[in-house]
Amino acid sequence: MSSSVQRKRIRKDPAARRAEIVDAAAAVALTEGLECVTLRRVAEDLAVRPGLISHYFPSAEGLVAEAFGSAATGELDRLLPARPPEDAPSRHLARFLARTSGEEYDVISRLWINARHLSRYRPVLRDRVALQESAWRGRLETLVRDGVDTGEFVTDDPVAATVQILVVLDGLGAHANTATPERPAAVLRMPITTAERELGLPPGTLDRTTG
């Protein structure tokens, strides 16, 4: 008779239920942080009992790692999707760098800071972070190599160029959780400057393009 109690059980296909759990966990990871990905929290969001989450993830650490992996993969796809043939590599790179400037990118920075810190205590998560790192690096590296192939980019070490861009992005994202004093324009432009320098592009090539 109590109003808020839902006694009806909904039995789902294990694969679908698992995906549902991972999605909910990833959402929590993005909005609240990885330490908020708990059995109780995820169960509450899905209106099930905590024990059910344990059934799919015998160790909570596995769920946290999965949540991070899912969230990071999703953000990578939004930030740096596969390049359609009609986009020139330089244009695609410019779009990517433009997306890393907005406040929207802070969410991603927060997630990475979170994961890199929590990796200190969670070996399973640490492995997942390493995996995601190589995924992000790999996708940017592919774009760089594509640009070299078309002749737009010039570098004798695509890996070094790629990693240098990522290091700068990591450095700029480090402050996503703290109120940062207004930064000089030269600092805000560091990703573009670095990319243009390492890829042999004339200054200004990677600035925001229309559309």
Partner DNA sequence: GATGCTATTGAGTGTGCGACCAATAAGCAA
Partner DNA sequence: TTGCTTATTGGTCGCACACTCAATAGCATC
Residues ≥6 apart with Cβ < 8 Å to 180:
none
Nearer to a copy of itself by C-beta: 142 or 164?
Answer: 164
Nearer to DNA by C-beta: 40 or 117?
Answer: 40
Contact string 107-146 vs DNA (x = CB under 7 A) = ----------------------------------------
| Residue 64 buriedness (CB in 10 A; 0-12 / 13-18 / 19+) | buried
Could you tell which of a copy of itself, DNA, none binds residue 1, using a CB distance below 5 to 8 A set by kind? none
User: Can you tell me the distance from the alpha carbon of 114 to that of 34, in angstroms, rounded to the nearest whole number?
Assistant: 7
Q: 47's torsion region: left (phi>0), alpha (psi -120 to 50) or beta? A: left
Could you tell which of a copy of itself, DNA, none binds residue 160, using a CB distance below 5 to 8 A set by kind? a copy of itself
**Per CB under 7 A, which region of 50-58, 128-136, 146-154, 157-165 contacts DNA?**
50-58
Neighbours of 87 (CB within 10 A): 16
Say if CB 87 and CB 146 are below 8 A apart. no
Nearer to DNA by C-beta: 21 or 168?
Answer: 21
Report which secondary-structure segment, H or E, holds 118: helix 104-118
User: How far separated are the first and last CA of the chain, in Å rounded?
Assistant: 57
Nearer to DNA by C-beta: 50 or 74?
Answer: 50
Count of positions on this chain that bind DNA (CB under 7 A): 25
Among 70, 90, 100, 119, the residue binding a copy of itself under the rule CB under 8 A is 119
Count of positions on this chain that bind a copy of itself (CB under 8 A): 41
CB 39, min distance to DNA, A:
4
Residue 102 contacts DNA per CB under 7 A? no
Among 3, 58, 102, 186, the residue binding DNA under the rule CB under 7 A is 58
User: Can you tell me the distance from the alpha carbon of 201 to that of 78, in angstroms, rounded to the nearest whole number?
Assistant: 25
